[in-house]
Structure 1
Amino acid sequence: MIAVEEHLARILATVRPLPATRRALDGAQGCVLAEDLRSRVSLPGFDNSAMDGYALLASDTEGASESSPVHLPVDGDIAAGDTTRHRLRAGHSFRIMTGAPVPEGADAVVPVEQSDGGVVRVAIHHGAAHGAHIRARGEDVGEGQVVLRAGTRLGPRQLALAAAVGHGDALVVPLPRVVVVSTGDELIPPGSVPGFGQVVDSNGPMLAAAARDLGVVASRVGGVADEPDTVARVLRQQLSRADAIVTTGGVSMGAYDAVKAVLSELGTVQFDRVAMQPGKPQGFGVLGAEAVPVFTLPGNPVSSLVSFEVFVAPALRRMAGRAPFETAPVIARADEGFRSPAAKTQFARVVVTSHDSEQLRVRLAGGQGSHVLGSLADAHGLAVVPPDVTQVEAGDEILVLGLDGTNPGDHVHVATAGETVGRPWFGAAALAAAGSAG
């Protein structure tokens, strides 16, 4: 058997970010920038009012008060979107709306609440300071300034900034397209009532959803028969529409494990027994002229999802131009003792609790069998028990990986520098072994 970090390191050393492509902003959400983005304009592009009120000279309001207001004629209205270049005369004012261009010569805006709201002539009840309530041109962003660095993931706020500084598209790493293939003669579609010997395909929807949770594009093909020609045909069909393929089932030592039989003949997929529980049978390689990564996961549902979190998710993030691990494991204290298999890394499903500023605490989330979906649905994270630990005692500190890319709990002690509780974290060890390629 090989260690978890060895299998993961081989995967991370193989996959690379997808080739960058230029995308319209509307199609770039979730993508990672492949180049620095510079502003083509200043923000704001012109001096504008931060308030509804009156644009004027601050010196013209000197001494204004409720009991002794300053009266100024109003030369007109300036609304947001007004493109006329207005000029203010000393001793006069303009009524101005929020976001509207400040007229030339004005150096302050008095909010309407500090006036009588006059339309032809206004009474100003408070003196204004120079620059009051004016958003100066370029005070947010200067023309030519780098506003988003390469490697930034584009969410709503970043897309808003890109659009505001003059960009309609961006050079990005596209979102990987993942196809999940479920194999097994026993599988029937979700929504069907299984008969004797039949099993509903829960792995396909689960893995496709896990991929979408990562922010990649996922589709699935279910109910593929355990027959080599059928498996080979399906895989060939999916190569044209996939940047990565994830199979579930058909990779153990059984006589009818067609996925392993087909991919073994291609010579590019290596099958290993990984020292982990659950999820021992694993395979990884590349297929086709485009060297599409293929991940073969076990058929038991818990084994399948744990394998996805440990091996597939880091690879897909790297393909998307992101860090393989975007959240570090956290350190929590066990509420109860439990056994762990010798010489294997255990990934135990746990429920996480926290109280105020106390350290996180964890307990097992029900049964730990690789087929038990109930405890998987209840779990908040995976407790990672190293292979040299066979007994976790109540009160011991252990590592917890969040499920679905999250940090488990509100008050966390985050593991750093790959060392936690005096033990190396498999993710840090794999990254070190794989190098920084990609």
Structure 2
Amino acid sequence: MTSTVGALDPAMSPDAELTPLADYLGSVLRRLRALPALDLDLTQAHGNVLAENVLAPHPYPAFDQAAIDGYAARSEDISHAVPSRPARLSVVGDLAASSWRPSRLTLGTCFSVAAGAPLPVSADVVIPGEWTDQGMASVEVKQPAKRGYGIRRIGEVMPEGAVLAKAGGTVTPALVGVLAACGIGHVVVRPSPRVVIISTGDELVEAGRVSQPGQVVDVNSHALTAATAEAGAHAYRVGICDDDPEALRALIDDQTGRADLIITTGGSGTGPGDMVRRILSRRDGSRTGNVVFTEVSLAPCGTLGFGTVGSVIEVPIVCLPGEPGAALIGFEVLARPVIQVLSGAEPVFRPSVRGHLLETVISPTGLREFRPAVVAERRGGGYTVQPLPGGPRTLAGMAEANALLVLGERVTSAPAGSTVDVLLLDRRR
């Protein structure tokens, strides 16, 4: 299997005091490559990202057809029809969508047709039934129709050779329909990344119980598993791993065989109990991984880890803080773009807008802060941005937020009424 991660970039060196977030993300994402492409059956490809452009091999529709139910006729035969003097046509047959024998119109005749039926030769209009007396052997047409009305010509929707979808786009239900209509049964896509999520810490206990002194409920593995699935990946929650070096090494080694990406939370600091950093960093001669932990100009995260693990197959790993709100922000800033690159998706980052701030906010000097917010469209255009509680209360704010307010490293105060950047979050229901 070809590795999806390139060599370490010197720009990621932990020796730098504080690495600008943009530089850090660029250095990480440049190391990654999309997963190898697969040829999948059309129905199995839903939700995956296209690895190449898809062209229409045939025109759609493949033949001239009725777009509505009614009567296929010649426009010249009904050009003078009015309610007081309707045009009378002889109905010479019925055509359904399943009809296949060629048919032809002559002067003063028409066919009763269903939507999707092949158009008779010489027919250039389909008259809606409500414009007629809906006769069976003959029909009276009470108003004229312009040439081409009620007709869908060959290739009108998609001509042969047209680009149906571009590489990097996601296969949606509507796109599945378009591809099927154009005679496509297989597409080449990137597989959805398999992402393993591990929470570390002796203090962690499973969700569903109230923590006691010395215990913390494992929030991260549950929240990040959901975030990973929302990002379009296959998420596997491993759960809690104690701060036991051998157990953590064994767990990570075991997961490299099933994962395209591993995400850990906790243990990324410099304290004596921060086992993730100790066993994954090459600085202590460890063979478990080749991970660099970098102090990034990012609030509320600070330290982020990225590199590879695995002796046979190198699997990328993202190491996030243990505080739940910071872990979710770190996922949005780092882990989600990594997933998007592995899946071949474009664009890699969330969409962003600029909006008017509803209240003044203070931001730490020298850090790019991501703060939960609610964005709403303004009457007359534009957006308003309402900041939500940040800092240690970020987790509660994230649950309510539909966006992240972004304040740059040089911003220490953003007054109410100023224009700010916000990332729009998915909130699928």
Normalised to the residue count of structure 1, the TM-score between the two structures is 0.85
Q: 2:373·2:404 contact (CA, 8 Å) conserved in 1?
A: yes
Quick check: 1:65 aligned with 2:82?
Answer: yes
Match of 1:166 among 168, 175, 183: 183
Match of residue 34 from structure 2: 17
Quick check: 1:389 aligned with 2:415?
Answer: no
Give the deviation of 1:52 after TM superposition.
1.7
- 3-state SS in 1 of match to 2:398: helix
Quick check: 1:342 aligned with 2:359?
Answer: no
Give the share of equivalent positions with the same residue, in percent: 37
Aligned partner letter, 1:76:
G
Change (3 A) 1:135 1:394: closer
2:42, 2:60 → 1: CA distance? 19
Give the deviation of 1:105 after TM superposition.
3.2
Output one character per residue of 1:215-252: Cα deviation in whole Å (capped at 9) or x when no partner.
Answer: 22212111112111111121122112211111011111
Match of residue 297 from structure 1: 320
Aligned partner letter, 2:388:
A
2:138, 2:41 → 1: CA distance? 49
- 3-state SS in 1 of match to 2:161: coil
2:410, 2:128 → 1: CA distance? 70
1:63, 1:351 → 2: CA distance? 60
Give structure 1 regions of 4+ aligned residues with deviation exceeding 6 angstroms.
none
- 3-state SS in 2 of match to 1:295: strand
Match of residue 265 from structure 2: 248
Change (3 A) 1:328 1:116: closer
Quick check: 1:403 aligned with 2:420?
Answer: no
Quick check: 1:279 aligned with 2:323?
Answer: no
Give the deviation of 1:172 after TM superposition.
1.4
- Work out the number of aligned pairs and report it: 405
Match of 2:243 among 215, 226, 229: 226
Q: 1:58·1:107 contact (CA, 8 Å) conserved in 2?
A: yes
Output one character per residue of 1:360-386: Cα deviation in whole Å (capped at 9) or x when no partner.
Answer: 4444412522x6522332334333333
Quick check: 1:269 aligned with 2:284?
Answer: no
Give the deviation of 1:132 after TM superposition.
3.0
Quick check: 1:186 aligned with 2:209?
Answer: no
Match of residue 313 from structure 1: 336
1:107, 1:363 → 2: CA distance? 57
- 3-state SS in 2 of match to 1:268: strand
Output one character per residue of 1:171-219: Cα deviation in whole Å (capped at 9) or x when no partner.
Answer: 1122212111111222222223333322221111211111222222212
Match of residue 421 from structure 1: none
Match of 1:117 among 134, 137, 156: 134
2:74, 2:426 → 1: CA distance? 57
Match of residue 214 from structure 1: 231
Q: 1:349·1:368 contact (CA, 8 Å) conserved in 2?
A: no
Quick check: 1:44 aligned with 2:61?
Answer: yes
Give the deviation of 1:152 after TM superposition.
2.8
Match of 1:379 among 388, 393, 401: 401
1:341, 1:119 → 2: CA distance? 79
Change (3 A) 1:398 1:121: closer
1:360, 1:66 → 2: CA distance? 52
Aligned partner letter, 2:404:
L
Aligned partner letter, 1:72:
L
Quick check: 1:136 aligned with 2:159?
Answer: no
2:87, 2:378 → 1: CA distance? 59
1:363, 1:144 → 2: CA distance? 47
Quick check: 1:100 aligned with 2:104?
Answer: no
Which moves more between the two structures, 80-89 or 42-51?
80-89
State the Cα RMSD in Å: 2.4
Match of residue 430 from structure 1: none
Which moves more between the two structures, 356-365 or 188-197?
356-365
Match of 2:355 among 326, 332, 335: 332
Give the deviation of 1:24 after TM superposition.
1.2
Which moves more between the two structures, 107-116 or 301-310?
107-116
Aligned partner letter, 2:379:
D
Q: 1:327·1:405 contact (CA, 8 Å) conserved in 2?
A: no
Unpaired runs of 5+ in structure 2? 1-16
2:403, 2:192 → 1: CA distance? 26
Give the deviation of 1:308 after TM superposition.
0.9
1:6, 1:129 → 2: CA distance? 61
Change (3 A) 1:121 1:336: closer
Unpaired runs of 5+ in structure 1? 407-438
Q: 2:326·2:394 contact (CA, 8 Å) conserved in 1?
A: no
Q: 2:169·2:346 contact (CA, 8 Å) conserved in 1?
A: no
Aligned partner letter, 1:111:
P
Q: 2:350·2:425 contact (CA, 8 Å) conserved in 1?
A: no
Output one character per residue of 1:276-296: Cα deviation in whole Å (capped at 9) or x when no partner.
Answer: 221112110012233211000
2:376, 2:87 → 1: CA distance? 63
Which moves more between the two structures, 72-81 or 341-350?
341-350
Match of residue 411 from structure 1: none
Give the deviation of 1:148 after TM superposition.
2.2
- 3-state SS in 1 of match to 2:279: helix
Aligned partner letter, 2:420:
I
Q: 2:201·2:267 contact (CA, 8 Å) conserved in 1?
A: yes
